[in-house]
């Protein structure tokens, strides 16, 4: 009978019957099929019996077992490995020879659970300490990375012919040109929605026209640069981390290093230059589209587009435009830098690249908001 | 061949996360020889290789490449050493966004003042050496594993290094492809007098190419055998070394 036949013919169940033998030992009679699917029920029953009868000899009668595989053997080994006094051993009897050969390959005594100390549990204070240490190390790495990148960029400025411009233009296309549709969509909707949300209540006071100022100021100074940057952090920051991370996993970074080519100069500098070139342009683009979005709402509120633009022109100064655009280079360095850093930090393994991309987006956005806050504070102090 | 060391490893100790993998390892590689680092899986072969090419910082010790210590070298001095070596990584590690030709050209673009045509021709000759000039315009992902490894050798040779390090050149390849690689190694060693340092555990390949081998063992944290592989197979005192060379099943090593 082949294994398949027996699997079909025999009912896939295991049974256990307990009896007292005439010589005073306890007998556990196993029958049927012992495999990983069928033993769950009898295993704990048998183990409970073995543990309960600590002072009696236990005979496991396996005469009626007609199939036993790795799962069944594991159960038998488990019963045999229980700690017992020498006068009351556990023995297996009547197991068919082919199954016995399998069982003989294991020494139950060596498979006893080690009585080692339970794993050390960290106290909450210690946990906090460790977490703080990780944060501290991360900050130190980021500072070191800023230094390394700055020196590489300085080198690039002094030796522009050593920069791989082909890679820079390619990245510009990826970061800039290909991001135009999504930046357009988001900033258009942003302008439209801000205008609509504020126009409805302001209309009660007949002040719809001032919505133009609100849209103009908030888009130019704040939302244009910030939303563009957040979009790019999700788009390009994650892409940088994934690209460089994959290169690291494939040992391509090692290959660069042993070719004497510094990965920071080679991969990071080109991406930062590309971001520096494109992010201000994208921001300007987002400003224009956002104001256009506001105009669409205004027109639907019966305010002529010329009146809307004139109102913006009166109150919104060119200085506000510069205040927004001045943030763009800082945001560009942040997005590209963090994306590249997280990529370089990628560990090995399949999930590592995903983790790096996630970390690039999360820390990118956090830093963006922090830096934006710093800008707001500086502008307040300088009365801009 | 008179002994003329091109690589000298002195008192190298290596490890990570507090665990020491090898302690006070000493050996030399002679100019022009094919030198093979052997050992069981997880025995520290690739780790040793990465210390020899300066990717990892050892706990102690020094690695002299053609007289200069790569461990302490920094900046320009380090680049000068790196120009003398080429490395083929286990996975090939070709740059996935570049064609084969661009992969080979990269080092030329960075280090030489040649014009475009000259660089193309040079890169093509390197691909020719490994039999891949017909695939110059292909991306790495379009090639088989064996071809990627050969292309990686071509890239490693771009600047005609004195020493080529190969990490598991025949791992995962069929016997014919792997024999082709062996033949390529011998041909390059003969015609260009390149010194090879190879990490592998393919016995067939070892007997074909190796002039000298060292064998690492993690438990002993160092070298347990050194010499000609055929001699070691027949005369080593260490039963485990003999087993390894005869490809016998493991009896726990002493």
Please write the tens of the pLDDT for every residue from B165-177: 999 888 777 888 8
Residue A89: pLDDT band (50, 70, 90) is confident
Between CA A276 and CA B226 the distance in angstroms is 55
Q: Does one domain contain both A321 and A226?
A: yes
Contact list, A261 vs chain B (CB under 8 Å): 106-107, 110
Same domain as A70, residue A189: no
Could you tell me the pLDDT band of residue B252, with boundaries at 50, 70 and 90?
A: low
Task: Tell me: do A52 and A182 sit in the same domain.
Answer: no
Residues A251, A342 within the same domain: yes
Instruction: Determine the pLDDT at residue B251.
Output: 56
How far A322 CA lies from chain B's nearest CA (Å)?
38
Statement to judge: residues A164 and A264 lie in one domain = yes
Interchain CB distance below 8 Å, A254 and B78: no
Contact, A364 vs A334, CB < 8 A? yes
State how far the Cα of B208 lies from the Cα of B186, in Å rounded to an integer: 9
- Verify whether the Cβ–Cβ distance A254 to B91 is below 8 Å: no
pLDDT surpasses 80 at A114: no
Q: Do B82 and A250 touch (CB under 8 A)?
A: no
- Decide if B55 and A257 are in contact by the 8 Å CB cutoff: yes
Give me A241's structure tokens: 């981390």
pLDDT at A12: 67
Of A247, A251, A259, the CB nearest to B82: A259
**Chain B CB within 8 Å of residue A244 CB:** no
Question: Which of A1-10, A53-62, B165-174 is the least confident region?
Answer: A1-10
Structural domain spans, chain B: 86-160
Q: Give me chain A's average pLDDT, please.
A: 89
pLDDT tens string A304-319: 999 999 999 998 889 9
What's the pLDDT at B253? 45
Block residue for tokens 């021709």: B121
Please report the beta strands in chain A, taking only residues with DSSP state E, as ranges in sequence order.
14-20, 26-34, 58-68, 90-93
Q: Which two tokens stand for residue B71?
A: 């461990």
Q: Which of A246, A250, A260 is nearest residue B79 as measured by Cβ atoms?
A: A260
Q: Do B93 and A255 touch (CB under 8 A)?
A: yes
One domain for residues A105 and A138: no
Across the interface, whether the CB atoms of B89 and A254 are under 8 A apart is answered yes
Residues A265 and A201 in one domain: yes
**For residue A35, is pLDDT > 60?**
yes
User: What is the tens place of the pLDDT at every residue in B78-106?
Assistant: 888 888 899 999 888 899 888 999 999 99
Residues of chain A with Cβ-Cβ distance to B89 below 8 Å are 251, 254-255
More confident: A327 or A118? A327
Beta pairing partners, B167: B199
What single-letter DSSP state applies at residue B238? -
pLDDT at A9 over 80: no
- Max distance between CA atoms of chain B, in angstroms, equals 60
Torsion angle (degrees, nearest 10) of CA A76, A79, A84, A89: -40
Q: Which of A163, A165, A170, A252 to mutate to test the interface with B (most CBs of B within 10 A)?
A: A252
B110·A261 Cβ contact <8 A: yes
Which among B177, B85, B163, B84 has a CA at the least distance from the CA of B130?
A: B177
Q: What's the pLDDT at A226?
A: 95
| Structure tokens, A223 | 């939302």
- What confidence tier does A177 reach under pLDDT thresholds 50, 70, 90? very high
In chain A, which residue's Cα lies nearest the Cα of B49?
Answer: A258
Let me know if A77 is exposed, middle or buried by CB neighbors in 10 A (0-12, 13-18, 19+): middle
- State phi, psi for A100 to the nearest 5 degrees: -60, -40
Mean pLDDT of B14-27: 83
- Judged against a pLDDT cut of 70, whether residue A8 lies above it is answered with no
A229/A236 Cα distance (integer angstroms): 10
User: In chain B, positions 14-73, which contact chain A (CB-CB < 8 Å)?
Assistant: 50, 53-55
Q: Residue A101 sits in a domain of what CATH number?
A: 3.30.750.24
Q: Nearest residue on chain B to A265, judged by CA atoms?
A: B110
pLDDT band at A1 (very low <50, low <70, confident <90, very high): very low
Contact B30, B47 (CB under 8 A): no
* pLDDT at residue B241 tops 90: no
Q: Average pLDDT, stretch B186-199?
A: 89
Do A161 and A278 have their domain in common? yes
Q: Name the token pair of A61.
A: 């009668």
% of chain B residues with pLDDT over 70: 97
> Is the pLDDT reported for residue A299 higher than 70?
yes
Q: Report pLDDT for A337.
A: 93
Cβ distance B107 to A254 less than 8 Å, yes or no, reads no
Whether the Cβ atoms of residue A225 and residue A329 lie closer than 8 Å to each other:
no
Place of tokens 């090879």: B196
The more confident residue out of A187 and B67 is: A187
Q: Calculate the CA dihedral of residues B3, B6, B12, B15 and round it to 10 degrees.
A: -130
Residues A98 and A180 in one domain: no
Chain A residues lying within 8 Å of B79, measured CB to CB: 260
> Which pLDDT does position B228 carry in this prediction?
86
Work out the number of other CB atoms within 10 angstroms of the CB of residue A281: 16
CB contact under 8 A, A251 and B94: no
| Burial B230-245, CB ≥16 within 10 A → b, else e | eebbeebebebbbbbb
Q: Is B171 within 8 Å of chain A by CB?
A: no
B55 closest CB neighbour out of A247, A252, A258: A258
Residues A107 and A197 in one domain: no
Out of A251, A260, A261, name the one closest to residue B93 (CB): A251
Same domain membership, residue A376 and residue A254: yes
Nearest-Cα distance to chain B for A252, in Å, is 5
Q: Are A192 and A293 in contact (CB under 8 A)?
A: yes
Q: pLDDT per residue over B105-141, tens digit each?
A: 998 888 888 888 999 999 999 898 888 889 989 999 9
- C-alpha torsion angle, residues A267, A268, A270, A276 (rounded to 10): 160
Full domain range(s) for residue A36:
3-111
Helix (H) or strand (E) holding B164: strand B163-167
> SS3 of A100, please?
helix
Residues of A in contact with B96 (CB under 8 A): 246-247, 250, 252
Res B250: pLDDT: 63
Does A168 share its domain with A67? no
Distance from CA of A348 to the nearest CA of B (A): 14
DSSP A109-147: GGGSPP-PPPPPPPPHHHHHHHHHHHHHHHHHHHHHHHH
CB-CB neighbours of A9 under 10 Å:
9
Token pair 């640069």 is found at A225
| A125 occurs within a structural domain | no
Q: What is the ipTM of this complex?
A: 0.85
* Cα distance between residue A255 and residue B92, in whole Å: 9
Q: Would you say residue A278 lies in a domain?
A: yes
Helical packing angle, A269-300 and A327-344, nearest 10°: 130
Q: Are A331 and A371 in contact (CB under 8 A)?
A: yes
A206 phi, psi to nearest 5 deg = 65, 25
Gap between the Cα atoms of B92 and B155, Å rounded: 10
Backbone angles phi, psi at B131, to 5 degrees: 75, 30
Residues of chain B in contact with residue A246, where contact means CB-CB under 8 angstroms, are: 96
Report how many domains make up chain A.
2
């Amino acid at each position: 009978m082949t294994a398949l036949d027996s699997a079909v013919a025999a009912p896939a169940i295991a049974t256990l019957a307990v009896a007292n033998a005439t010589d005073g030992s306890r007998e556990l009679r196993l029958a049927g099929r012992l495999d990983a699917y069928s033993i769950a029920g009898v295993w704990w029953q048998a183990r409970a019996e073995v543990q309960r009868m600590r002072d009696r000899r236990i005979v496991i009668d396996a005469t009626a077992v007609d199939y036993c595989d790795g799962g069944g053997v594991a159960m038998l080994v488990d019963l045999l490995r229980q700690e017992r006094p020498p006068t009351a051993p556990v023995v297996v009897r009547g197991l068919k020879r082919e199954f016995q050969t399998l069982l003989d390959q294991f020494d139950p005594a060596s498979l006893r659970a080690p009585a080692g100390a339970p794993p050390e549990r960290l106290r909450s204070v210690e946990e906090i300490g460790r977490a703080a240490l990780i944060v501290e190390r991360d900050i130190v790495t980021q500072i070191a990375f800023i230094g390394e990148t700055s020196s590489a960029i300085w080198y690039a400025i002094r030796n522009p012919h050593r920069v791989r411009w082909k890679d820079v233009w390619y990245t510009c296309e990826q970061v800039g040109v290909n991001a135009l549709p999504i930046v357009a969509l988001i900033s258009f909707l942003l302008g439209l929605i801000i205008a609509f949300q504020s126009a409805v209540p302001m209309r009660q006071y007949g002040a719809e026209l001032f919505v133009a100022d609100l849209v103009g100021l908030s888009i130019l100074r704040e939302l244009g640069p910030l939303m563009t940057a957040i979009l790019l952090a999700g788009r390009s920051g994650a892409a940088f981390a994934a690209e460089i991370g994959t290169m690291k996993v494939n040992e391509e970074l090692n290959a660069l290093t042993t070719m004497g080519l510094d990965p920071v100069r080679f991969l990071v500098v080109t991406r930062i230059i590309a971001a520096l070139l494109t992010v201000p342009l994208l921001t300007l683009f987002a400003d224009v589209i956002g104001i256009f979005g506001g105009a669409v709402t205004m027109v639907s509120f019966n305010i002529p587009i010329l009146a809307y633009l004139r109102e913006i022109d009166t109150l919104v100064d060119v200085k506000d435009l510069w205040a927004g655009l001045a943030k763009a280079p800082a945001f560009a360095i942040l997005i590209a830098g963090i994306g590249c850093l997280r990529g370089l930090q990628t560990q090995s393994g399949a999930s590592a690249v995903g983790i790096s991309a996630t970390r690039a987006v999360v820390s990118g956005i956090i830093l963006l908001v922090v830096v934006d806050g710093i800008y707001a504070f500086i502008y307040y102090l300088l009365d801009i | 061949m008179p002994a003329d060391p091109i690589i000298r490893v002195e008192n190298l100790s290596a490890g990570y996360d507090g665990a020491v993998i090898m302690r006070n390892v000493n050996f030399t590689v002679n100019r022009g020889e094919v030198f093979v680092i052997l050992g069981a899986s997880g025995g520290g072969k690739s780790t040793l290789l990465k210390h020899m090419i300066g990717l990892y910082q050892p706990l102690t010790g020094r690695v002299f490449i053609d007289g200069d210590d790569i461990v302490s070298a920094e900046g320009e001095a380090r680049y000068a050493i790196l120009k003398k070596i080429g490395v083929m990584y286990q996975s090939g590690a070709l740059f996935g966004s570049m064609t084969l030709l661009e992969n080979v050209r990269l080092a030329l673009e960075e280090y030489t003042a040649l014009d475009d045509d000259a660089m193309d021709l040079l890169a093509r000759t390197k691909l020719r050496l490994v039999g891949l000039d017909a695939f110059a315009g292909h991306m790495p992902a379009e090639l088989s594993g064996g071809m990627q490894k050969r292309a990686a050798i071509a890239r490693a040779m771009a600047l005609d290094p004195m020493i080529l390090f190969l990490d598991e050149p025949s791992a995962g390849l069929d016997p014919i492809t792997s024999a082709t690689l062996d033949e390529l190694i011998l041909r390059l060693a003969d015609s260009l007098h390149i010194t090879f340092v190879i990490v592998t555990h393919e016995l067939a390949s070892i007997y074909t190419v190796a002039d000298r081998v060292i064998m690492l063992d993690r438990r002993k944290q160092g070298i347990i055998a050194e010499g000609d592989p055929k001699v070691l197979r027949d005369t080593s005192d260490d039963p485990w070394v003999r087993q390894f060379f005869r490809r016998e099943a493991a009896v726990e090593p002493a």
